Amino acid sequence: MDKKQLIARCGIWCGTCRQYLVRKKELFEEKGLKRGCEGCWIRDKNCTFIKKECAPLRNNEIEFCYECENFPCDNLTELDELYVSRYNMSLIENQKRIKQMGIKKWIKEQEELYTCPECSGEVCVHDAECYDCGNKYNPNIPP
């Protein structure tokens, strides 16, 4: 699979998402979820927060929010504020970095950032927890 497909249109790296990690690691019962997710692009889902309300994304005129002339729109700004307050992650900054660095470098940066310092497992941004060893870790908050 092309790792680009694991970048949500809004700028979330699916590799850090609770829904994605639960499915990948088959932790449905442990995390209290029924299905999980394969990734935003793979499902071609109209994202409740962004794509559903965005004609350029819905009509495949753009791939990511940063490509839009209205970037950042009210929908992205609202979701960004939620992510900044809950998870100390800015989707708007993620979008800017994708544009600045390019997709491959940004993916590498995200993979390194969300690697557990204890076991090298995958850290979930939503739980600030490594889904391999259980270590509590939020790479967005300095120690």
Each of the 143 residues of the chain gets a pLDDT tens digit; together they read 688 888 988 899 999 999 899 999 998 888 888 888 888 776 665 565 565 678 888 888 998 999 999 999 998 999 999 999 999 999 999 999 999 999 999 999 999 999 999 999 999 999 999 999 999 988 877 65
The answer to whether residue 143 sits within a structural domain is no
Q: Is residue 140, in this structure, part of any structural domain at all?
A: no
Work out the angle at residue 81's Cα, subtended by the Cα atoms of residues 124 and 143, and round it to the nearest 5 degrees.
50
**Total domains in the fold of the chain:** 1
Instruction: Please state, in angstroms and as integers, the Cα–Cα distance from residue 138 to each residue in 28, 75, 90, 117, following that order.
Output: 22, 25, 14, 11
Decide if 16 contacts 123 (C-beta within 8 A).
Answer: yes
Report if residue 138 sits inside a domain.
no
Distance of CA 139 to the CA centre of its chain: 14
Size of the chain, expressed as the number of residues it contains: 143
Instruction: Give this prediction's pTM.
Output: 0.87
Residue 34 lies in a domain: yes
Q: Which domain holds residue 50?
A: 3-130
